[in-house]
Amino acid sequence: MSQLKNDRYLRALQCLPVDYTPIWMMRQAGRYLPEYRQLRSKAGDFMTMCQTPELACEVTLQPLQRFELDAAIIFSDILTIPDAMGLGLYFEAGEGPKFTQSITCMSDIEQLPIPDPEQSLSYVMDAIRLTKKELNGKVPLIGFSGSPWTLATYMIEGGSSKAFTKIKKMLYSDPKALHLLLEKLADSVALYLNAQIEAGAQSIMIFDTWGGVLSHQSYQTFSLHYMQLILSKLKRGHKTQDITSYVPVTFFTKGGGLWLDSIVNTGCDAIGVDWTVNLSAITQKGYIAVQGNLEPSVLYADKLTIESNVESVLSEFGIYNGHIFNLGHGIHQDIPIEHVQYLIEAVHQQSKRFHQ
């Protein structure tokens, strides 16, 4: 049987009964915590934290030392793969991620290597192995990657973007080049995630942060197709009585509420949804797990407002197995810490009646 002291998150991902709804938060290891800010200023910069397994482990564990969360997510960044491909990732204060080189044409793409995760990304695997040991079965550990489409947006735009004009120009004027890039990224992500599973990740999440900027048809062709390709290559194990013998996979497309049926049909174990989705409208509840979907800004509100919003999300989901409570995207960096405590307590307390 499971060696985990708290396996509610893995059980919920398999739509099995739990006594209360498990909760974790996107970006739960991050800048809203004073201990994170302290460690970051000591480390010097974000990439040093990502690439030093001891620091990545410490940051991963920080929120669990404070809160009764039901899962840990390894501290890393979605852009580790493009960095390992040689594009030179760096972070400008207040501007987010940038690359020293961006992708502009077919010949750039043809020259991109497919990174060996145990070589150029070994720091992530080392961080997972170390964190798993330190967790000692307290809660499951989540591994993750960006989706090929989302990674491609940063690689072609050279960093963050508002209008995504460069990648959309390639999509419409040179789709063959974009498909080659997405194929290489899908191969790289599959290798990377399998290495994370091998290192000890007990669940996998694919963040398709920018899938929602695509048209309906383009989403299916340039985003979802490649996530499904990755899924077909993942070593997920088999469902047995031991909950840890299977590695569930969650797809999260921010802004993907219009395509939930298509996402469900990929065969992933769970769909992450943002705050624009009405959970009562998801017809496959109980058959596929759903992660979400509190609006992160609700955490600026007072205790009563947070509690009533939690109640709304739980009621919208209803009395089904397979709900993982989360924010609809990452936690904001200036959220008061005690409000996070209100949220977690409210979810654990209020959800019990949905699981009797």
pLDDT per position as a tens digit, 27-76: 999 999 999 999 999 999 899 999 999 999 999 999 999 999 999 999 99
Establish whether 353 is a catalytic residue: no
Q: Which residues does the annotation place in the binding site for substrate?
A: 27-31, 77, 154, 209, 329
Establish whether 236 is a catalytic residue: no
Structure confidence by residue, pLDDT tens digits, 91-132: 877 778 999 999 999 999 999 999 999 999 999 999 999 999
Q: Does domain 8-355 have CATH number 3.40.30.10?
A: no
Whether residue 245 contacts residue 238, with contact meaning beta carbons closer than 8 Å, is answered with yes
Active-site position among 154, 192, 219, 226: 154
What pTM value is reported for the model? 0.97
Whether residue 258 contacts residue 277, with contact meaning beta carbons closer than 8 Å, is answered with no
Q: How many CB atoms lie within 10 A of CB 160?
A: 13
Helix (H) or strand (E) holding 166: helix 165-173
Helix (H) or strand (E) holding 206: strand 203-208
Residue with the two structure tokens 């299977």 = 246
Helix (H) or strand (E) holding 340: helix 337-350
What local confidence, expressed as pLDDT, does residue 1 receive? 47
Structure confidence by residue, pLDDT tens digits, 180-229: 999 999 999 999 999 999 999 999 999 999 999 999 999 999 999 999 99
Over 50: is that where the pLDDT of 137 sits?
yes
Dist. CA 305–CA 327, nearest whole Å: 15
List helix spans (H) across 237-276.
260-264
Active-site position among 7, 8, 32, 77: 77
What local confidence, expressed as pLDDT, does residue 245 receive? 96
Confidence of residue 321 (pLDDT cuts 50, 70, 90): very high
Establish whether 40 is a catalytic residue: yes
Domain positions in the chain: 8-355
